[in-house]
Amino acid sequence: MVKSRILLVDDNIEFLDSTKDVVEEEGFEVVTATSGEEAIRLVGWQNFDLVIMDIKMPGLNGVESFIAMKRHDPDIRVIMCTAYIVEDLIRQALAEGAYAVLNKPFEISLLLRTIESALKGRDGGRILLADRDPQFASILNEFLAAQGHKVVVAENGLDAVKRAGEQEFDILLLDIKLAGLDGVQAYYRVKAVRPDIAAAIITGYSDEIDAATQLALRREKGLISLKKPLDTVQLVNLLENICEAKQLGAHRKREGERS
């Protein structure tokens, strides 16, 4: 039984054929295209549950093609792939709502997990985000919203603490270098008012992780470190696991109240 229809787009014929074979073995129906222009035409007259597309292609690149596809289907889900260091295109892809960006060469198991994740369509969590880079925060906000999460962006550490006191959040994403309070200080203050919140500290460089941060990461259960540039697949899987655990806990609590 066919699970879903996937459009696979890449100008590398060898990659296209080998990936198509593997994905079809998992029960998906796969249609292929060798250019962005061809992919846009296919999306214009066929329905696809997911598009897997190379970012860097001759003619229209993957991001330009994605933007054109959204004119036909604003809700289309796309996983981008790249073998090149194209930070600008990756940032633009995430800003446009790409589900994830995979770096080639990647393990097929990673691709299959990402496909399954992209097709699940679970309800997202409530995320409080604070980062020193407003552009990065804006892009990450749009990316997380595209995954179904509800995101509130705080301007700095003190603002994050204030917002956490005003409303409940499932997940806290904090840049380690924030104005007013750094990420670890803000984490401790938020945790004081929201003890059940899951949290991640975002770092740009390894030397940003000072002794206080290392101590917090060792001592604080559930506090993890994420490094820029963010691995979008790791982030998506992390958030899904947190949301699953929250939903399971809420379900068990309701069941306990009924019994």
Contacts (Cβ under 8 Å, ≥6 apart) of 239: 124, 125, 127, 144, 147, 149, 171
Is the entire prediction scored with pTM above 0.85? no
N-to-C CA span, the chain: 40
190 by DSSP, 3-state: which?
helix
Look at residue 140 in the predicted model and tell me its pLDDT: 87
Q: Which two tokens stand for residue 168?
A: 């409940």
Distance separating alpha carbons of residues 16 and 206, to the nearest angstrom: 36
The residues, ordered by sequence, that sit 6+ positions from 197 with a Cβ below 8 Å of its Cβ are: 128, 164, 169, 170, 171, 172, 190, 191
CB of 61 closer than 8 Å to CB of 36: yes
Q: What is the pLDDT of residue 31?
A: 96
pLDDT in tens, 80-110: 888 876 777 877 887 787 888 888 877 888 8
What is the biggest distance separating any 2 CA atoms in the chain, rounded to whole angstroms? 62
Could you read off the pLDDT tens digit of each residue along the chain, which spans 259 residues? 557 899 999 999 999 999 999 999 999 999 999 999 999 999 999 999 999 999 989 999 999 999 999 988 888 889 988 887 677 787 788 778 788 888 887 788 888 888 887 887 555 688 999 999 988 888 888 788 767 788 889 989 999 999 999 988 889 999 988 988 888 899 999 999 999 899 998 987 666 677 767 777 777 777 888 888 888 888 888 888 887 776 665 545 545 554 5
**DSSP-assigned beta bridge partners for residue 201:** 174, 225
The two structure tokens encoding residue 41: 């035409």
List of domains in the chain: 5-120 (3.40.50.2300), 126-250 (3.40.50.2300)
Helix/strand/coil (H, E, C) string of 9-50? ECCCHHHHHHHHHHHHHCCCEEEEECCHHHHHHHHHHCCCCE
